[in-house]
């Protein structure tokens, strides 16, 4: 590491984006590096958690991951399990198809699909991240990044009108399109 880089903050992983994907990744990294082996920093350009939902359902595989993380019970208590879905189409909204979701093939302990607004999913994951000692720096935007000759990623961030640099071993973009 060069002398100029020595004054910059170094983390193992910088996660840019605190939606469900970024929060889940941060939870797993903090949990698996609970003894401080993995230094994780999570930033999001938004000023706070979203109050709106872009998605309304949590799939079986995600619930299995939530179970491993220890948040499935809370998700199930805050959501509504959907055992079947009926598709209507055409003039007069004629029933086209009825899908029984609670009898899908596979060995999941979770039947059907969980209807849970994305904002609630994010709240559950954020609360769990905080309980593990993690945090999200809301209002902090990733402005750009470049590789250093030492194999690190130089991440240029901006918060409250101030720009600063964080060096990361890995940068993970989970901030959407």
> Structure tokens of 108?
């999941």
- Regarding the domain delimited by 1-52+119-177, which CATH topology (the fold level of the hierarchy) does it fall under? FAD/NAD(P)-binding domain (3.50.50)
What would the mean pLDDT of 21-28 be, rounded to a whole number? 98
When comparing pLDDT for 39 and 5, which is higher? 39
pLDDT at 106: 66
81: pLDDT strictly greater than 60: yes
pLDDT at 53: 86
Q: Chain-wide mean pLDDT for the chain?
A: 88
pLDDT at 109: 80
Q: CB 154: neighbour CB atoms within 10 A?
A: 17
Give the whole-angstrom CA distance, residue 10 versus residue 76: 37
pLDDT at 104: 58
Report pTM.
Answer: 0.85
118: pLDDT strictly greater than 70: yes
Pairing of strands 84-89, 140-147: unpaired
> Structure tokens of 95?
């029933």
CA distances in angstroms from 9 to 13, 30, 59, 85, 154, listed in the order given:
12, 18, 37, 50, 10
Alpha-helical segments (H) within the chain: 20-32, 60-69, 72-78, 118-131
97: pLDDT strictly greater than 80: no
Pairing of strands 113-115, 136-138: unpaired
60: pLDDT strictly greater than 60: yes
The segment(s) of the chain belonging to CATH 3.50.50.60 are 1-52+119-177
Give the whole-angstrom CA distance, residue 134 versus residue 21: 15
pLDDT at 35: 76
Residue 118: which of 75, 81, 85 has the closest Cα? 75
What would the mean pLDDT of 91-109 be, rounded to a whole number? 66
141: pLDDT strictly greater than 80: yes
């Amino acid at each position: 590491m060069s002398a100029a880089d020595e004054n910059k903050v170094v983390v193992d992983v910088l996660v840019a984006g605190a939606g469900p994907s970024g929060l889940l990744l941060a939870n797993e990294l903090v949990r698996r590096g609970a003894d401080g082996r993995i230094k994780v920093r999570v930033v999001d350009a938004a000023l706070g958690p979203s109050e709106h939902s872009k998605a309304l359902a949590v799939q079986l595989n995600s619930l299995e991951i939530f179970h491993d993380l220890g948040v499935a019970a809370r998700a199930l208590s805050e959501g509504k399990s959907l055992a079947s879905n009926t598709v209507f189409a055409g003039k007069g909204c004629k029933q086209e198809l009825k899908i029984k979701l609670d009898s899908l093939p596979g060995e999941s302990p979770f039947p059907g699909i969980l209807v849970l607004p994305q904002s609630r999913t994010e709240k559950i994951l954020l609360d769990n991240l905080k309980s593990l000692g993690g945090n999200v720096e809301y209002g902090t935007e990733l402005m750009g990044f470049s590789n250093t000759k030492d194999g690190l990623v130089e991440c240029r961030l901006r918060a409250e009108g101030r720009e600063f640099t964080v060096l990361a071993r890995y940068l993970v973009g989970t901030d959407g399109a």
